[in-house]
Structure 1
Amino acid sequence: MPADRSLERLANSTLLVPFESHTAPRWVLDGLGEGLAGVCLFHNNISGAEQVTALNRRLAEAADHPLVSLDEEGGDVTRIGQAAGSEYPGNAALGAIDDPALTREVHRALGAELRGLGFTLDLAPSVDVNTAADNPVIGTRSFGADPALVVRHAAAAVTGLQQGGVAACAKHFPGHGSTHQDSHHELPVIDADVDLLERRELRPFRAAVAAGVKSVLTAHIQLPALGLTAPATLTPEIITGLLRGRLGFDGVVVTDALDMQGVSGEIGIPEAAVRALAAGCDLLCLGRFVYADQVAQIRAAIVEAARTGRLSADRLEQAAERITALRSWTAEPTGEPPRAYVGLDAARRAVRVSGTLPPMADPVVVELDAPLGIAVGEVPWGLAPWYPGALRVDPEHTTAAEVLRGAEGRTLVVVVRDAHRYPRTRAVVEELCRQRDDVVVVEMGLPMWRPDSRAFVTTHGAARVNGQSAAEVLGSPAPASIR
């Protein structure tokens, strides 16, 4: 048994920690020097390119190639684009285009930008097959509902990110696409046996592994058809048996955030950390608000579990070796810079128009608001950057008559996001279309519901470039990309 000090360093080597500011606090810098695997940045750590580059440079100086990570999927889930929206379309848009070479190019550009900012690990792409129409946590983050489609683009996205210079992380294993609950709030259930998992959920992960993905991120989901009741993240049969054994993955297994209710709500984060490591996970993503004191508690729980035999030292050493290998890979030089504005070009290709657009006579743009979800966060969306007079309203407290009063004699453009999930939004749009035969509806989520409107514009995502592409279709002069 290693000494407690050695165990502490081994425990540190499994931790991916957050912090609260635009500069690295002393406890993080000291922790990196004492073996912390790295950090995970969120929007609260990023105010601009110059600031985050300086921050990441300081983090890199504190240790030998620490992992500097973030959730940057492009599209709706963005950290570097949190202030104004992403300059890269998300997976749903790329899946709608279905050009794997373009998906690779977009992700290579994203990877190169992240590497230029000092990031070395991107907790992306999502390779979930989104088969549940009302999925509250995946949606446009998925390439689509067809496993074969997701397979093609999973491999392309992984290849592109890693060509750009950051380690990719395929998520959420073994697949979060058929859930009807959000694991941030509860433990979702996947009603799938091994045969269905093989035909649907596991195929994109096999493709990611074959493409050389450096890491895989787990899902906090329950699979009762496999006789399992614990979250997948804490289940050896899923991590060691299915991912390591059946899929042959030998890279770094990363947990989804351990502060999520689906994994630690009943047992606490320190206990979840111990069980995740015992199940076969290597790198513990702690979440958004788990700071110095809690990190110390988690480290102490891991050390105590190793001292008492609940967690073998060999398991910790194996995890540390995999993470060291990943950190070494991130030190490798990157390739050529990508083509400029590839994200905007891709977003333009994803726009679809059904019906006939009317002449845009002094258009009134009304955006029916929709919840963003924890994974997305407070990221701007809509057409307001191109139509400054756009009105954002709450469909729960707005009537069609109120909208129409402000649009007499003018073209009415109604912007929605995942309208299929919100009955009141659909009701307002349907009434508007009954009252006027020239309504244009712009759907910036999944186009799973089609109103009886004059024209229906679908963007397959709500990134800034998706909004710009829709505005161009509607005839608004589009400003240049913001970055």
Structure 2
Amino acid sequence: MPGFQGLTVPAWIGEGLDGGLASVCLYGANLDTPAQLGDLAARLRELSPSALLTLDEEGGDVTRLHYLTGSPQPGNAVLGRIDDVAATAASAQLIAAELQALGLNYDLAPSADVNSSPQNPVIGTRSFGAEPELVARHTVAWVEGLQAAGVAGCVKHFPGHGDTTADSHLAMPRIDTDRATLDARELVPFRAAIQAGVATVMTSHILVPALDPSGPATFSRAILTELLRGELGFEGVIVTDALDMKGASGEVGIPEAAVRALIAGADLLCLGSETSPELYREVLDAVAAAVAEGRLSLERLRDAAERTSRLAAAYPAAVPGSAGSVPGPERIAEAFRRGAAVPAWLANPAPVAVVQLENEANMAAGFVPWGAGAAGVPLSTPAEVPAGAKVALVARGLDAAHPAWALAAEFEGAGHPVLVIECGWPHDERADLVTFGASRAVGEALALALQLPVAAPAGAVGGGGSAG
């Protein structure tokens, strides 16, 4: 499952599909306009009517279809807070309809991680919550909504990425907990999704010594074959998280990472957004060499090929179906209005200034418009805030060192009423309002709840994000 750079299908992808390439993954860097994306997807489907054409469309903060404007879906953490499984299924159905309209038949979603660590730098609002049973029931609802509408789903990041404080895009995280805790927490949503018939499971590039102290889950036969296949009884496709991530290939390189993943039990290799024709050939050569050396059996390769072939046959490109009702801005805004500090801030008749602080983008999400800005709310720099205005200070990742706290104190010292808004997973209790997401849909609800002015959204172009 390679990605590629550019807005049109490169020749080497066409040659690969003609030669039996199982899957192609699209990223934000492949998108310029909706019409261009439609042409790109149509060309891929023309080259291979049976391939698995995929992307990361989680809804919420991680979006590829709406990379230029932000997602119209609220996202997992918001859905988990609402706790209406019918709404969660409807959100997935709407995403499936969009994918089907483009001829895409596989979605690398949802995240089934229990976000037990508030300091998690890469999961956070991509999780339905911090309680295993809640995450399990919403994971099942999302999977069933997506797959009933004709698109294969993917629960990730097995065996669970929620209790980490490192980002596997940049390093190899480690979960130091015992097997009993893993059984009672991390594995609960995956068990439920497998019982509900999820089509695929994505591996994580994390070290879990209680299961295998020798290497990350993506390379672990104990985790993929013995636990996932054996104990949990999963019969579908095991797909790797992107092998260009440091947690997988930082020490061994992508070709060797591909070989190790196949040996461990993976069936489909996600190579990453910047796959070149040279790298693609290097991966094929490394797999062939591993077979010649006896490290990798032909039986294992045939097993992987047969599983991916069955998956593609089970989810052919289809016509969009009907979907239920996803929570609209007004329903989400109801929860925002319940913030303890919100009524007094709203009652203040002072004019409003909205300051949104940018921070380093999440590697999985990329540079997607977010928060109030994505909803078209006019934003001010701190220096542009007029005297006497009340300030909505919007940020995400508000840890103790975040500059928002000093800025809020500066505004308050100058006599401005300030509402500090966390558009992510809360790191502490100081924020006045927590939205548990930053998608365009959440930004629209925020604007509605706080009576913020709205102009036409500016959008943004560029970036790419990474699978997983």
Q: CA contact under 8 A between 1:171 and 1:219: conserved in structure 2?
A: yes
Aligned partners of 2:20, 2:264: CA distance in 1, in Å? Answer: 22
Q: Distance in 2 between matches of 1:341 and 1:360?
A: 33
Is 1:182 aligned with 2:167? yes
Match of residue 443 from structure 1 = 422
Look up the match of 1:254.
239
Q: 1:369 aligns with which of 352, 358, 367?
A: 358
Long gaps (5+) in structure 2: 460-468
Among residues 228, 238, 258, which one is paired with 2:223 in the alignment? 238
Q: State the secondary structure of the residue aligned to 2:339.
A: strand
From 419, 426, 431, give the equivalent of 2:398: 419
Q: Aligned partner of 2:191: which letter?
A: R
Which range moved further: 341-350 or 380-389?
Answer: 341-350
Q: Does the CA-based 8 Å contact 1:350-1:460 persist in structure 2?
A: no
Between the aligned partners of 1:422 and 1:346, the Cα distance in structure 2 is: 33
Structure 2 partner of 1:102? 87
Aligned match for 1:67, one of 45, 48, 52: 52
The 8 Å contact of residues 135 and 181 in structure 1, kept in 2 or not, is answered as yes
Structure 1 residue identity aligned to 2:273: R
In the superposition, relative to structure 1, how do residues 386 and 247 fare at CA in structure 2: closer, same or farther (>3 Å)? closer
Residue equivalent to 1:470: 446
Mapping 1:50-449, distance limit 5 Å: 50-331=35-316, 333=318, 336-339=321-324, 344=329, 347-348=332-333, 351=336, 352-355=338-341, 356=343, 357-359=346-348, 361-384=350-373, 389-392=378-381, 406-420=385-399, 422-433=401-412, 436=415, 438-449=417-428
Tell me, yes or no, if the aligned pair for 1:129 and 1:176 is still in contact at 8 Å.
Answer: yes
Which amino acid in 1 is paired with 2:243?
L
Q: Segments of 4+ in structure 1 off by > 6 A?
A: 479-483
Return the TM-score normalized by structure 1: 0.89
**Cα distance, 1:339 vs. partner?**
4.7
TM-score (norm 2): 0.91
Q: What SS does the aligned partner of 2:210 have? A: helix
- On the 8 A contact 2:160/2:204 being kept in 1, the answer is yes
Q: Which moved more, 1:349-358 or 1:201-210?
A: 349-358
The alignment partner of 1:285 has SS state of: coil
Q: Which amino acid aligns with 1:353?
A: G
Find the aligned partners of 1:465 and 1:479 in 2 and give their Cα distance.
15
Corresponding residue SS for 1:317: helix
The alignment-based identity, stated in percent, is 45
Q: 1:9 maps to which residue?
A: none
Over 3 Å counting, the alpha-carbon distance change for 1:346 and 1:106 in structure 2 is farther
1 CA distance for matches of 2:117 and 2:158?
A: 16
What is the letter of the counterpart of residue 264 of structure 1? S
Amino acid corresponding to residue 379 of structure 2 in structure 1: A
2:94 alignment partner AA: A
Deviation, structure 1 residue 138? 0.6
More divergent stretch after superposition (304-313 vs 172-181): 304-313
Q: 1:190 and 1:94, CA in 2 relative to 1: closer, same or farther beyond 3 A?
A: same
Q: Is 360-369 or 72-81 further displaced after alignment?
A: 360-369
Q: Closer, same or farther in 2 for the Cα pair 1:162/1:479, shift >3 Å?
A: farther
Residue aligning to 2:464: none
How many residues align structurally? 455
Alpha-carbon distance in 2 for matches of 1:476, 1:318: 55
Cα deviation digits, residues 434-481 of structure 1 (max 9, x gap): 6547322222112343438xxx33321110111111111111355799
Q: Indicate the SS of the match to 1:384.
A: helix
Distance 1:341 1:173, change over 3 A: closer
| Structure 1 range deviating more: 336-345 or 183-192 | 336-345
Within 2, Cα distance between the matches of 1:57 and 1:332?
Answer: 11
Q: What one-letter code is carried by the residue in structure 1 that aligns with 2:434?
A: T
Gaps of 5+ in 1: 1-15, 393-401
Offset of 1:428 from its aligned partner? 2.8
Deviation for aligned residue 1:193: 2.2
Structure 1, 218-227 or 242-251: larger mean CA deviation: 218-227
Structure 1 residue 422: Cα displacement: 4.0
CA gap of 1:134–1:159, structure 2 versus 1, over 3 A, is same
Superposed CA offset, 1:411-451 (max 9, x none): 22111212136443333324544654732222211234343
| Matched letter for residue 375 of structure 1 | A
Q: In 1, distance between residues paired with 2:369 and 2:91?
A: 21
Amino acid at match of 2:357: L
Deviates more, 1:378-387 or 1:189-198: 378-387
Which secondary structure state, in structure 1, belongs to the residue aligned with residue 347 of structure 2?
Answer: coil
Do the aligned residues in 2 keep the contact of 1:123 with 1:169 (CA within 8 Å)? yes
The higher relative CO (CA closer than 8 Å, separation ≥ 6) is in: 2
Tell me the distance in 2 between the aligned counterparts of 1:68 and 1:387.
32
- Aligned counterpart, 1:33: 18
Letter in 1 for 2:350: A
Quote how far apart the aligned CAs of 1:409 are.
1.7
Name the CA distance, whole Å, in 1 between partners of 2:40 and 2:92: 23
Please give the alpha-carbon distance, in whole angstroms, between the structure 2 residues aligned to 1:76 and 1:421.
23
